[in-house]
Structure 1
Amino acid sequence: MAPGSSPGAVVYVGEQRLIKVRVDVIHYDSSGCSERQDVSVQGCADAVRQNGITWMNVNGVHDVGLIEHLGERFGLHPMTMEDIVNTTQRPKVEEFEGYIFMVLKMIAFNEVSQSIDIEHVSVILGQNFVISFLEDDGDVFDGVRERIRSSGGRIRWMKADYLAYSLMDAVVDHYFLAVERMGDIIEEVDDRLLEDPRPNDIKEIHGLKRGILSLRKAVWPIREEVGVIVKSESPLLTAESRVFWRDLYDHSIQIIDLVETHRDILGGMHDTYLSILSHRMNEVMKVLTIISTIFIPLTFIAGVYGMNFKEMPELQWRGGYYSVWALMIVIATSLFLYFRRKHWL
């Protein structure tokens, strides 16, 4: 939201996109389901008036005009529409008259860039309808769609709140996939770090730390959000679905525990990398110090007998040259054995 804008101003905040915003509608009940793509706002309203449950999935939130039109048609509060188009909005849940508004982040692991992709998702739970708003085309809801089409599970016999739960559950399940993939990479880096640390490892560790921080920022509010739903007394939440919301709350806690574990491991890896580098430097300095220590007395002897004074009696000795060599060898050997006995070598 731009500074100075009035509260409730619907201003898109996020990456500029050129794709056309599309609204897909699935209408179902216990007897069957129907699907339509690229439906108008009036078509969405007509679908909700029918018996059964209507799921409207909005692909893209950069078309402010369409979001405002949809909000007016379904009685959404201006503050809700403002949060829908603000892709930086923190995950949260709010109850309004006639609907419940939920914000969360959809997470996927990008194998190409080896990083975390985060997409803004908003969900509106109303009486016999659910509206999901996605930042971009593409989502993790294919499993939910397939269950509706095939009448798999209980989704076709439950109310709209179970559909909202199913959408959030699909998002949280993909948190597990992203976190586990991050965990695999962290384990690989950790094993390599102990065997053969490389200069670019510290850069990779920092990249993983940024990814974990992004995950943590997206995941931590989910527990609070689902906790509010579990405790809510809204008539839109049926007694039959509450056990599923409580299970989702447990899943959110598991995700947070995994993220915190990986965060602690990465912090330890950073310290381990610096310790290994320090140890290697100490080993190098120890070897250089030992070599210097051995050669210091030898250099002293060579320097003394390299002076050009005439009155140096040892220079006239018949075996002087060999005696000096013998002395230097004895000194070097004695120092070497001494260092070995001290376990410095």
Structure 2
Amino acid sequence: MAEAPVAVLGAGSWGTALAIELGRHQPVLLWSHSAQEVAALARDRENRHYLPGVPFPESLQMEADLGAALAAAAEVLVVVPSHAFAGLLARIAELAPELPALCWATKGFDPESGGLLSEVAAHYLPHAGRAVLSGPTFAAEVARGLPTAITVAADDPALAERLARRLRSDHFRPYTATDLVGVQVGGAAKNVMAIAAGISDGLGFGANARAALITRGLSEITRLGLALGGEKETFMGLAGLGDLVLTCTDDQSRNRRLGLALAAGQDVAEARAAIGQEVEGINTAREVWHKARELGIEMPITEQTYRVLYEGLDPRRAVHNLLARQMRAEGL
């Protein structure tokens, strides 16, 4: 009997990269909401829009029918932007209400409720096991088979172990965890800090400022994560510090590039259009800032980034506001 495939739902850069990586050693179905996109990917045997020049392995096949992908799959991995997550899960719940487990590699909060994506999953698929894949990963490097380490967190350790075995290869190393909350918060909130780091570097403020921003940004992320029920150790791991450092320091990060563009004088719409892909940190800045205010958590970098994005605050003024804050002891 043929091995049942992993269904990867979402054919953007990250979804395609994960499908390629998984497809190197097992059957994979890659689904897209666009039948036209599915046809192009099946014809070209590569994602020429997002990952040109990276061929699909033979065991990676395209699927335009969501129901068929769900019915055939041994595991389901959702990799769509956060704003599309709830809508896709609603469809999954209609087509496969008894789905035993759901994994996602989406980083962000639900823009409608402001909640974690695990809360969205619990709403639509209350009986399914839940797992999230996160960590310091750029799609292009994963697709090319470069060494990568990630975290798989699940509400059931056995589910995390099972998914990790699916993902593991000689160049792709998953670590397991049970802190579903902390891994999600780290993966989402770091995008806000990456925008801030891009602004700082774009204004020419140098390596000292970048290091300070990453360090204090980690404190902000940790405060939020602990308030939401995460574990402190998570934020010193791959899904916390690792992902934060990566996305704040390398121009492969779309969020960092947005910050660089804002520092150069572009507005949010112009910068977003020039990047041409989802920039999760824009929505996440709003959700994190509202969540921080709701919980009474001090997140000054997040606040200033939110004000630049949504209130038109001049980036230089935002930096001045951060430096003018009252002195305090270092710590969380």
TM over 0.5: no
| Higher relative strand content | 1
Computing the radius of gyration over CA atoms, which structure comes out larger, 1 or 2? 1
